Every structure is written in C-alpha cells, then in structure tokens.
Chains A and B, each alone.
Chain A
Amino acid sequence: GESVGLHLPTLSVQEGDNSIINCAYSNSASDYFIWYKQESGKGPQFIIDIRSNMDKRQGQRVTVLLNKTVKHLSLQIAATQPGDSAVYFCAEKPSGTYKYIFGTGTRLKVLA
C-alpha cells in the first residue's frame, strides 16, 4: 500500500554538527516531496520541497536530496542548532493526485 517511512525514529546530534534525516517512500510515481518540522504542541511547518525532476535543492541551512532509483529522500541540516530540535516528517504526493502522504517522523534531539 501507500506508505512513507523513516529509517530512524530518533536522531541525536551534537550542536554545531550536521544532521541527516532519511526517508524511504514506496510510491515510485510520486512527483513532489516536502519536508516538514513539527515542534511540540504545534502544527507542522514547511521546511523545503523538491519535485521529482530534481535531485537536490538547497535552502537556508537545509538541503534535500532525492534519489528516485532507490526511492530515498534525505534532509540535511547544516550546523544544527537547539532550535532545530523537533520531529521531522517527509511527505510525498503521488502523481495524478492531490494527496500528501506523511511518514511517521524522526525526532531530532540537539545535544548542547
């Protein structure tokens, strides 16, 4: 069935180091992907998106990589800060639909 999963449920990173959060998606027909950040008690917040015709997209301190061959998505956060502590979700949109399917999330803990 349709599903988006994550390899690691919790990731602990030292402040200042780079973080890499991974996501495996199952629908090879998905054409659009988004990373969201969710802090406790709040709704998900958009971080960055990427279309399936791209392999890489950069934002401020964040980079998303898409490997369609192995259906893998990753979010790289440079110089991780305490404010980056949150749960991160990837979401995919299957082609021909307007539905966004979210994964189960990875909790990022930034250690001082």
Chain B
Amino acid sequence: EAGVAQSPRYKIIEKRQSVAFWCNPISGHATLYWYQQILGQGPKLLIQFQNNGVVDDSQLPKDRFSAERLKGVDSTLKIQPAKLEDSAVYLCASSLGSLGELFFGEGSRLTVL
C-alpha cells in the first residue's frame, strides 16, 4: 500500500515569495491533516479536513496560509507571502477516520531566506 506522498521535499524561497505544497493521502483515508514542524519542536496542527470539508483551521495563519482539498483526495497548502518564521517542515498526514493512527508523509522542508 502506498504511503502519504508529499512534494516538493525541499524548497528554498526568499521572504515575500509564495510557495505551494502538495499532498496525496493514502487511498480511502477520509481525514487529512497539515502540520507545521519547526526545528526542535513537535508538529503543530495547521488544518484538518474531513473529506473535502474543513474540521479545524483554528491555528492556520489565514492572512498568509491557505489550504484546499478539492474532491476530498489531494490537498495543497499555500503560503503567500512567506516570512522568515515560516521556515519549517510541513507534514501531511492522513487517517481512515478522526480517531486512530495518523500516517505521515516525509514532509516538505521550507527554508525562507
């Protein structure tokens, strides 16, 4: 069974530029999460989807971050404009339901210069 796929693995941009990350969850997984992991810290939830609806986006900086999950499968996370403090690994995870094991992708590492 294929795992959670993310791309790109690495991205370097200058501040005020924009960037987009893509996630393809495990087939059949209804719940999809985007986490931000700053170096030396635990993952912080940015947004959670149930199918194509948003369950929780309370910690998403909506002035610069946006995410969508059209058709309830793939998802994209966009940052525009990026700030230095956005440098982090962006992890996508999926699960069958809202309770149980989260399966994580390998993450997209963003460096903002």
B44, B55, B93: the one within 8 Å of A98 (CB): B55
Render B77-113 as a binary contact track against A, CB cut-off 8 A, 1 for contact.
Answer: 0000000000000010100001111111111000000
Tell me, yes or no, whether A101 is within 8 Å of chain B by CB.
yes
Render A38-52 as a binary contact track against B, CB cut-off 8 A, 1 for contact.
Answer: 000111111001000
In the complex formed, the residue of A with least CB distance to B101 is A46
> Is B107 a contact partner of A49 (Cβ separation < 8 A)?
no
> Is B99 a contact partner of A101 (Cβ separation < 8 A)?
no
**Interface extent on B, as a size class?**
20 to 34
**Residues on the A chain within 8 Å of B48, using CB:** 98-99
CB distance from B108 to the nearest CB of A (A): 10
B44, B98, B106: the one within 8 Å of A41 (CB): B106
A46, A93, A102: the one within 8 Å of B103 (CB): A46
> If the complex has contacts A42-B106, A43-B4, are A105 and B99 also in contact, measured as CB distance less than 8 A?
no
Render B49-70 as a binary contact track against A, CB cut-off 8 A, 1 for contact.
Answer: 0100001100000000000000
* Residue from A32, A46, A100, A102 with most neighbouring chain B CB atoms (10 Å): A100
**Residues on the B chain within 8 Å of A66, using CB:** none
> If the complex has contacts A41-B106, A43-B105, A43-B106, are A104 and B42 also in contact, measured as CB distance less than 8 A?
yes
In the complex formed, the residue of A with least CB distance to B33 is A100
**Residues on the B chain within 8 Å of A4, using CB:** 42
> Is B93 a contact partner of A93 (Cβ separation < 8 A)?
no
* Residue from A45, A98, A101 with most neighbouring chain B CB atoms (10 Å): A98
B interface residues (Cβ-Cβ under 8 A, vs A): 4, 31, 33, 35, 40-45, 48, 50, 55-56, 91, 93, 98-107
> Is B102 a contact partner of A102 (Cβ separation < 8 A)?
no
**26 chain-A/chain-B pairs, Cβ below 8 angstroms:** A34-B101, A41-B106, A42-B106, A42-B107, A43-B4, A43-B104, A43-B107, A44-B102, A44-B104, A45-B104, A46-B103, A89-B42, A91-B42, A93-B99, A98-B31, A98-B48, A98-B99, A99-B45, A99-B48, A100-B33, A101-B45, A102-B44, A103-B42, A104-B40, A104-B41, A105-B42
